Amino acid sequence: MSADLHARLLDDAALESSSVVANNAMNRLRGLSGVNSYARELGFDPYERLATILRGNPHAAVRWIDVCCGSGRALLEAEDRFATEFPTADIAITGIDLVNHFLATPRTPHLRLLTASAATWHPDAPADLVTCVHGLHYLGDKLAVLTAMTQWTRPGGSFAADFDPHAIRNPDGSSAARPVLAELRAAGLTYDRRRRRLSGTDFRPPNFTAAYLGADDTAGPGYTGQHAVTSYYDFG
């Protein structure tokens, strides 16, 4: 690693106060469905995925964790729809975001919007659905959070996240996409290159052995056109 890069790499505390991460211009307002939505980014409507479980078994306990939930708009819309269609069902939706820009306070105990870092937060219990819509682009140790999110997904549950494997770098700055995608696929996850979407319903948590070195917030725009964070690892 060059001395210049070494000097640029940020730890989590520095990264979380960087203007790239604590940025008001990013899109935090996706709804559940429609043009600017979770359904569009994930390739499925998360409400419908969970409602299908309840339609099959009205006594099921249904859990959804959304990491980097932004304003929480999609989750607030899901809360409303669940209250209408399944008023007595056992539903728990948890959204976490680094910044408290939530659009509204939850109306029911079925939704929690928490201000926390994905780097340190852990859920009480695994979920039927774990999502991260355009959040990994801003994290430092992306591989650790990605692995954690797969561990938070209940066996048979669904995991989906936007992910740019080229944002994972070797110490010389080159892309480490190849070994990262190989491990994700070996774990049973699917990577859609065109949509840059990682997903799975029947997988094991990946096992990354690379050592995290730090994050660079000066790499410029990622594939979304917004400034993004590249993450450096030593793959040995």
Ligand X SMILES: C[S@@+](CC[C@H](N)C(=O)[O-])C[C@H]1O[C@@H](n2cnc3c(N)ncnc32)[C@H](O)[C@@H]1O
Which lies closer to ligand X via its Cβ, residue 128 or residue 217? 217
Whether 113 and 75 have beta carbons less than 8 Å apart is answered as yes
Token duo for residue 22: 């604590």
Asked if 10 is part of the footprint of ligand X (rule: CB under 6 A), the reply reads no
List the interface residues with ligand X, window 116-155 (CB under 6 A): 117-119, 133-135, 138-139
Strands (E), the chain: 61-67, 90-97, 111-115, 127-132, 153-162, 168-169, 190-192, 197-200, 211-216, 230-234
- Which of 64, 89 has the CB closer to ligand X? 64
The β-bridge partners of 115 are 97
Cβ-contact 182, 11 below 8 angstroms: no
Distance of CA 219 to the CA centre of its chain: 20
**Is residue 28 part of the contact set for ligand X (CB under 6 A)?**
yes
13: Cβ contacts below 8 Å, ≥ 6 apart: none
Q: How far is the CB of 15 from ligand X (least distance, A)?
A: 8
Using rule CB under 6 A, residue 198 touches ligand X: no
List the x/- string, 60-89, binding to ligand X by CB under 6 A: --------xxx-------------------
167 binds ligand X (CB under 6 A): no
Q: Smallest gap, in angstroms, from Cβ of residue 59 to ligand X? A: 30
Binding site for ligand X (CB under 6 A): 16, 21, 26-30, 68-70, 96-99, 117-119, 133-135, 138-139
